[in-house]
Amino acid sequence: MLSTDNTLKQYYAARAREYERIYAKPERQVDLKHIAEMLPPLFAGRSVLEIACGTGYWTQCLAPAANSVVGVDANRETLDVAAEKSWPANRVEFRIADAYALSDALGMFDAAFAGFWWSHIPVRERPRFFASLNRRLLPGARVVFLDNLYIEGSNTPITQSDEDGNTYQHRRLDDGSEHIVLKNFPTEQALIADVAGFARGARYTALKYYWLFSYETGAA
């Protein structure tokens, strides 16, 4: 069965306590150090909405520099892990939320970040996601996405695809459960095309194992 939004949530709920092991891969350490240095200046003094914040791994890079961070995720299990970390007083908040229907109650933000979320958005659902995100962003907000490049031998192999061009991986968790997980690997051109109607100053940076993509919304 190919993953849907519901099965993806179930997968990450089950993976919550083992999620951060992925960042221990030896070959990725240089890239991860570089990213950890790149992110704080991008969010200095900003009010940040972090989409699919999971266990708060990347929130740790945003929080020291940002004015505030609201991290949202679909799973209580991953947010419970995030809540166990130490955070700057009164500057970090975690909430359950649907990335495709972000509530007005979250407020408005002048920055947004999503680490390893773009790859899990089905091709057909990207317009719905961006409509939801854009409603929460002020004009001139800075948006940054971070995700994987596909590197043979480092990434889990692609085992399936569908008629929309989505690709999927077969993954096994510690509890023995097996999952078919949506994992897309967009090109720079595809990223730019997806935000062309509302973004300016799009910038793509490719490292060895990861990419970063940033832009600003509309006119300040």
CA–CA distance, 70 with 143 (Å, rounded to integer): 14
CA–CA distance, 197 with 163 (Å, rounded to integer): 25
Q: What percent of the chain has pLDDT over 70?
A: 96
Number of structural domains the chain divides into: 1
Comparing CA positions, the residue from 16, 103, 88, 10 lying closest to residue 53 is 16
Q: How confident is the model at residue 2 (pLDDT cuts 50, 70, 90)?
A: very low
* Domain of residue 49, CATH code: 3.40.50.150
* DSSP collapsed to 3 states, 19-49: HHHHHHCHHHHHHHHHHHHHHHHHCCCCEEE
What confidence score (pLDDT) does residue 6 get?
63
CA–CA distance, 3 with 168 (Å, rounded to integer): 8
What confidence score (pLDDT) does residue 9 get?
77
Q: Does residue 192 register a pLDDT over 80? A: yes
Mean pLDDT of the chain: 93
The range of the structural domain enclosing residue 51 comes to 20-151+186-217
Residue 3 in domain: no
pLDDT tens track for 161-180: 999 999 999 998 888 888 89
Residue 168 in domain: no
Q: What is the pTM of this model?
A: 0.93
